[in-house]
Chains A and B, each alone.
Chain A
Amino acid sequence: MTGFLLRRAGALVLTVVLALAGLFALMEAAPGDPSDNFGAVVVADPEARAAIEAQRGLDASAPARFRAFLADALRGDLGTSYFDGSDVASSIGAAAPVSLELGLLALVLVVAPGAALGALAARRRGRPAELAVSVASLLAVSMPSYWLAVLALVVVGERWPELVPGAGGYVAFADDPVANLRTMVLPAIIVGLGAFALVARAVAASLGPALDEDDATFARACGLPERTVTWRIAGRRAAPGVLSVAGLAVGGLVTGAVLVESVFQLPGLGQLLVTAFTRGDLPVALGGTLVTAALLLGVNLLVDAAIVLLDPRVARSRSNLPGATS
C-alpha cells in the first residue's frame, strides 16, 4: 500500500516536472519578448530595457532561466504579472476562495444529487426513472454552461435581480453571507452540470451490474434490506468505477468555472485565467494553470489511494495502475 502510493507519488513528481518544462517551452515559443510588455517608457529606451531585463534575470540563458523558473515555482513564487506587475501568487490567493466556494457549492447542490440519481437509475433499470435520469444527464452534458449562464442572467436577472451577481455585484462571504449565498447558488448549479452528468452516469453504469452480482443476490436472499445491499455490498464493488471519474469531474468543474465566472463577474480563478489569456499575460496564465494542474493531480492521487484501500489487489499488480491503461 505505502510502496504503491510512493510509486504513484514519484510518477506524479516526474509528471509535474515534465508539465513545468512543457509550460516553460510554451512560454519560450510564444512570439514577442516578455520585455515588450513593460511600460512604453521602458520599451522605447534600450538602456532601461536592458536594466530591467538584467534585474528580472531575463538576459540569462534558457537552461539557467528554466532552473530559476523551476526553483521559484517550487517555492511558490509564480512571478509577477506582465500587465500590472502584481504578484501572481497573491492574485491567485485572492481569487482561489471564490472558485473554491463555487466548486464546493456545486458539489453539494448538483454533484451529490447526481450520485443519488445515478443510484436511483441503477435500482430502477428499465423503468421510467432510469430513462428520466439518462435524459437529464444527456441534457446536462449537452447544454453549454456559458449559454445557460447567459440565459440565467437575462431571464432570472430580469425578474429577480437579487439572485444573480450583476456587474461588480459580487459580495464576499465574509461581508454578507446571506447575499453571497443567494447570488452564488445559480452560478454554482450551472458550473456543476457537467460533473453532475458524469457522476450520475458513472454511478448508474457501475452500480447497476454490481446489484446483479452473486454477493448482492446472496445478501438479498439472507434477508438484508435493499438499502444495505445497495450501499454496503454493491456500493463497495461499484466505488472504484465511480471514483475513477473524480479527476474528470473536478476537471469539468474547473472548465465550468472558467466559462461561468466571467459571465457573472465573479472574481475567481476562472476569471483571472480568462483575463490573463485575453491580455496575453503569460505569468498569470501559467500560474493559474499550475494551480489547476496541482488540484487535478492531488485529486487523482487521493483517488488512487482510495481505490487501493477499497481493493488492495490493485497495488499488487504493477501493470494495472489505475489510469495507466485505457
Chain B
Amino acid sequence: MKRSARVGAVVGGVLLGAFVVVAVAGSLHGSPTELVGAPLEPPSGAHPFGTDSLGRDLLARTGQGARASALMALGAVGASLAVAVPLGMASGWRAGGWFDAATMRVIETTQVVPPLILVLLLLGAAGPTATTLGPVELTPGTRIALCLAVAFVPFFARVARSATIAERRAPYLAELQRLGVGRLELAVGELLPNVVPVLAGQALLALAIVIFAEGGLSFLGLGVPPPAPTLGGLVAEAGGQLLGAAWWCALVPGIVLVAGITGLNLAADATVAAVATRSTRNVP
C-alpha cells in the first residue's frame, strides 16, 4: 500500500474510534431526555458538550444519536446486502440472460431518482402511521432502516453482479463445474469469497452514506421522531432556534457526524486500495 493510503487508513481509524468513544461515553453519561441543567450552558466539566435549549445534556444526546445512527447504518446495510448479493450474483452468473435483463431493467428504473428522494418516496408510501409487516410491528427506526436498505439494493446488486461477471471468466470455475461441483457450492464456496472483498469497500462507503442520509431525514423532520435524539435532529434543533451565541449546539453534534462519515469514507478508500493491491499481486 502507498504511504498516503496508509496515512488515510490510520486517520480514518482514529476518526471512527472517536465516533465510537462519543457514542459509548454519551450513552453512559446519563439520560438524553432528562433536564439536568440550565438551558444553553456552555461546555463544562459536568456537561462536556454543554446543554441544549431545554437544559438537556448534549453529550448524552449526541452519544445516543451517534449510537442510533451507527445501529441504523449497520442494520440498513446488512439487510440490503442480504438481498442484493444473491440477486446480483444470480444476475451476473448468466449475464445477458432473461433474469439478468429483467433485474437490470428494474434496477435502472429505481436509479432514475437520487437515492435520498427514493427513500423519501418509500417513506411517504409507507405512511405516517405505525406500520406492521405481517405479525411484526415496525418501530419508526426500523421502518427508516428498511427504506434505506431498499434504496441501496440496486447499488449493491450492481457491484455484486459486475464482480461475479469478472470472476466468471476465470477458467477454474468451468473446470470445477466439469468435475461435477454443484452450482450452489460453486457460488457460495468459490464465487462469494471473491465477490466479498469488492463489496467490502462499497459497504463501508454505504455506511457513510446511510449515516449522512439518516441525519438528513431527521434534519428534514422525516426521521426518528423526537424526543429520541439523532445527530441530524440535533443539528436541525440548533438550526431551528438560530442559536448564534450557543455555537456548540450546532457545532458539536455536527463534528461527531463529520468524524463518523469521514472515518468511513477513509476506511472505504483504504479497503478499495488494499483489494486493488491484492488483486494486482495475484495476477502473474
Residues of A within 8 A of B (CB): 14-16, 18-19, 22-23, 26-27, 29-32, 131, 138-139, 141-144, 146-147, 149-151, 153-155, 157-158, 251-252, 254-255, 258-259, 262-263, 273-274, 277-278, 280, 282, 285-286, 289, 292-293, 296-297, 319, 323-326
A30→B117 contact, CB < 8 A: no
Contact with A along B200-227 (1 / 0, CB 8 A): 0000000010001001100111100000
* CB-defined contacts of A255 to chain B, threshold 8 Å: 114-117
Closest B residue by C-beta to A32:
B127
Q: Which of B105, B258, B266 contacts A144 (CB 8 A)?
A: B258
Count, chain B residues at interface, CB 8 A:
53
A151→B251 contact, CB < 8 A: yes
A200 to chain B, nearest CB (A): 14
A277→B222 contact, CB < 8 A: yes
A282→B109 contact, CB < 8 A: no
Given A146-B236, A326-B162: A139 touches B117 (CB 8 Å cut-off):
no
Q: Does B149 interact with chain A (Cβ within 8 Å)?
A: no
* CB-defined contacts of A31 to chain B, threshold 8 Å: 126-127, 129
Given A22-B109, A26-B122, A292-B117: A144 touches B216 (CB 8 Å cut-off):
yes
Given A31-B129, A153-B242: A19 touches B112 (CB 8 Å cut-off):
yes
B265→A141 contact, CB < 8 A: yes
- How far is A147 from B178 in the complex, measured between Cα atoms in Å? 57
B113→A292 contact, CB < 8 A: yes
A325→B125 contact, CB < 8 A: no
A110 to chain B, nearest CB (A): 18
Residues of B within 8 A of A (CB): 4, 96, 104-106, 108-110, 112-117, 120-129, 158, 162, 165, 208, 212, 215-216, 219-222, 232, 235-236, 238-239, 242-244, 247, 250-251, 254, 257-258, 261-262, 265-266
- How far is A26 from B4 in the complex, measured between Cα atoms in Å? 46
- How far is A292 from B116 in the complex, measured between Cα atoms in Å? 12
* CB-defined contacts of A252 to chain B, threshold 8 Å: 114
Closest A residue by C-beta to B254:
A147
* CB-defined contacts of B96 to chain A, threshold 8 Å: 319
Q: Which of A22, A30, A146, A296 contacts B219 (CB 8 A)?
A: A146
B121 to chain A, nearest CB (A): 6
B244→A158 contact, CB < 8 A: yes
* Sample of 9 A–B contacts (CB below 8 Å): A26-B122, A30-B124, A138-B262, A142-B261, A144-B254, A147-B235, A150-B238, A154-B239, A289-B117
- How far is A15 from B265 in the complex, measured between Cα atoms in Å? 32
A138→B266 contact, CB < 8 A: yes
Given A30-B125, A147-B257: A142 touches B262 (CB 8 Å cut-off):
yes
* CB-defined contacts of A157 to chain B, threshold 8 Å: 242, 244
Q: Which of B105, B126, B129, B254 contacts A151 (CB 8 A)?
A: B254
B219→A18 contact, CB < 8 A: no
* CB-defined contacts of A258 to chain B, threshold 8 Å: 116-117, 120, 220
Q: Which of B158, B232, B243 contacts A326 (CB 8 A)?
A: B158
B110→A22 contact, CB < 8 A: yes
A128 to chain B, nearest CB (A): 11
A146→B262 contact, CB < 8 A: no
Q: Which of B106, B165, B238, B265 contacts A142 (CB 8 A)?
A: B265
A296→B114 contact, CB < 8 A: yes
